Amino acid sequence: MSDTRSDIRGDAQTPRMSATLAAFDAGLAPYAAHASQTRGRRFAEPPPAARSEFQRDRDRIVHSTAFRRLEYKTQVFVNHEGDLFRTRLTHSLEVAQIARSVARNLRVNEDLVEAISLAHDLGHTPFGHAGQDALNECMREHGGFEHNLQSLAVVDELEEHYGAFDGLNLCFETREGILKHCSREHARRLGDLGERFLLGRQPSLEAQIANIADEIAYNNHDVDDGLRSGLLTIEQLAEVELWQAHYEAARAEYPHIEGRRLVHETVRRIINTLIVDLIEETSRNLARHAPQSLDDVRAAPPIVAHSEGVAEQAAALKRFLYRNLYRHYRVMRMANKARRVVKGLFEAFSDDPRLLPPAYQTPDEASQPRQIAHYIAGMTDRYALKEYRRLFVVSDDV
């Protein structure tokens, strides 16, 4: 295949450069994912000239259309509710920051962990989990909708950037990290990528780190955004051990500060505690299982983990957020509106696919619902609202 793909732009290999490829892996632990040992891409390409294979993946993700859309996709608060709340873009950047800190300490591949972190939410629908649940319901008869699989579809098929292939043609290890969960049914259809779900094996440490960094990021920024929005109060948070201990420590160290500054001093302490605990417990697990290679990591039980005490504290914070923020009546109202929009769009397009932009229309009736799901999943919050108005509100905006 490679001889027919000479049109792939840039990164032509030169003999002088080839020596540097292995150099990108210098200093990595033996159990890290080594870019020079990648299981490769779906379509063979010449190796990159001045960066590692995983750096190339990260760069392709940053330059993708789906990545830019994350700026206008909801985390908890819909984009137009305020300029300072997290979006999926800032969330993804925070995940990457946390994951890289952990990866560097454990001498595993920072470039891979960054690529996985930046890509992990590319398949999210507009309006966060409410949007995903609604689309999943709409797709029930047609194979369902799951944002992990959608993220994979974005990088494998949907991005239109390169002459030689659809998608971003990322390395196996990056795709493996993006596919966090997967049903056995889907796993059977995914070939080597689905294998681990059938065999009960783990992904790389880099994928495991990105997964927990995701939780650390959203637990903390949702507390911060919840307070900023006024939906949560400091008084309520007193019941959360992890919060209260650090809140008191921050006040003891800086008795004169209050408001946003005190919240931030508390949140940064929580994030730091979680990161340090994750590094320490994972180091203990590495010593216990002593993996000598990435294959050993895949065969071992999950290695990246919090200590028992901190895991319980983090779980309590998560439960608090479910009760008090994600189920807050104002968040529920937005979620309800989001469901209506997603379902309304899906029904209108299913009833008459001619309403779809031509790129999503297909003469194959059986695959039409999936095309509609791809179209809706790709929408930003505000694009979905606009499209809804265009379809359902009688005005001169067509």
Give me the residues that bind Mg ion (CB under 5 A), please: 121, 214
Nearer to Mg ion, 121 or 222 (CB): 121
Among residues 100, 148, 144, which one has the least CA distance to residue 120? 148
> CB 281 → Mg ion: shortest distance, Å?
21
> How far is residue 61's CA from residue 48's CA, in Å, rounded to a whole number?
15
Q: Closer CB to Mg ion, residue 123 or residue 291?
A: 123
Task: Please report how close the Cβ of residue 340 comes to Mg ion at its closest, in angstroms.
Answer: 24
- As measured in angstroms, the least distance from the Cβ of 89 to Mg ion is 11
* CB 278 to Mg ion: min, Å: 16
Give alpha helix (H) positions in the chain: 15-23, 53-62, 65-69, 88-106, 110-119, 128-138, 147-153, 172-178, 184-189, 195-199, 205-229, 234-237, 241-253, 259-289, 294-299, 308-321, 329-351, 368-377, 381-392
Nearer to Mg ion, 110 or 121 (CB): 121
Residues contacting 219, CB < 8 A, separation 6+ = 314, 317, 318, 321
**Between 182 and 294, whose beta carbon lies closer to Mg ion?**
182
Q: Residue 254 region, left (φ>0) first, then alpha (ψ -120 to 50), else beta?
A: beta
In the complex, the smallest distance separating the C-beta of residue 91 from Mg ion, rounded to whole angstroms, is: 6
DSSP 398: -
Residue 110 or 214: the one with the smaller Cβ distance to Mg ion is 214
Least distance from C-beta 333 to Mg ion, angstroms? 23
* Dist. CA 73–CA 69, nearest whole Å: 7
Rounded to whole angstroms, the Cα distance separating 345 from 349 reads 6
Name the β-bridge partners of 74. Answer: 87
With CB atoms as reference, the residue minimizing the distance to Mg ion is: 214
Residue 25, SS3 per DSSP: coil
Q: Which is nearer to Mg ion, 57 or 214 (CB)?
A: 214
CB of 224 to Mg ion, least distance (A): 15
Of 48 and 128, nearer to Mg ion (C-beta) is 128
Helical pair 381-392 and 329-351, crossing angle rounded to 10 deg: 50
